[in-house]
Amino acid sequence: MPRPVRLNLPGIPQHITQRGNNRQACFLAGEDYELYLALLAAACEKHQCAVHSYVLMTNHVHLLITPETAEGVSLVIRDLGRDYVRQVNKAYGRSGTLWEGRFKSSLVDREAYCLACYRYIELNPVRAQMVVIPADYGWSSFRANALGMRNELITPHECWLSLGASDNARRSAYQGLFKQDLEQKQLEDIRYGVRKGLPTGNDGFKRQVEAALSVKLSSGKRGRPVRIS
């Protein structure tokens, strides 16, 4: 069965997720998280990609990245996977793969879903009941986006910049978004898009993707929901 076509467009943010093989842990110590973030920064600089939001969970990751070129994201994940696995295997005396197959990705509608995707990613540890509030989790971008903690990996997306006239105003507005839960439809759309490799957005955005890539996307009819944290 042929692999599904991966949808890539320069300048459009992508929600990316990758899981550990057989759902095993990908990060065993604080040094592993730090190594992953350092390698992610290096790969994004090399391949002209901007990271807006991320969370590193014990056995999977979520990233929101905008590439300047169509292949930017794929090249980042390729380099990151290769270099991270090599160094982790050496450190722990292990061999073989660490990640489960291909990474999953979804083009994200900047107008309707970008900030929802920010929140979806940074609320992952809360949904997993690892922390009570997102600020309590150290391996996500929340402290940078909401509290102004220095994080050179993060490049604000224009949707974040539109929240206010100054960084303080933007952070305050961004914090306010977390006072309400994501709508159920937003949750379902984000999960479905990344699981199926389809755009996350309204019908107009999906038509724009079809026209830009000369593809016909599926109707979007869904079967039984599958939970993706």
Q: ∠ at Cα 8 (188, 83), nearest 5°? A: 95
User: Residue 190 domain-assigned?
Assistant: yes
User: Residue 225 domain-assigned?
Assistant: no
User: Residue 7 domain-assigned?
Assistant: no
- CATH number of the domain that 115 lies in? 3.30.70.1290
Range of the domain at 59: 14-205
CA pseudo-torsion sign 32, 82, 97, 102: positive
User: Residue 61 domain-assigned?
Assistant: yes
* Residue-wise pLDDT tens digits, 29-40: 999 999 999 999
Least confident of 36-40, 95-99, 163-167: 95-99
In whole angstroms, what is the distance from residue 39 CA to residue 72 CA? 15
User: Residue 106 domain-assigned?
Assistant: yes
Q: How confident is the model at residue 5 (pLDDT cuts 50, 70, 90)?
A: confident
Q: How many other C-beta atoms are found inside a 10 Å radius of the C-beta of residue 102?
A: 13
User: Residue 1 domain-assigned?
Assistant: no
**Per-residue pLDDT averaged across 56-61, rounded?**
97
> Number of folded domains in the chain?
1
User: Residue 221 domain-assigned?
Assistant: no
- Average pLDDT of the chain to the nearest whole number: 92
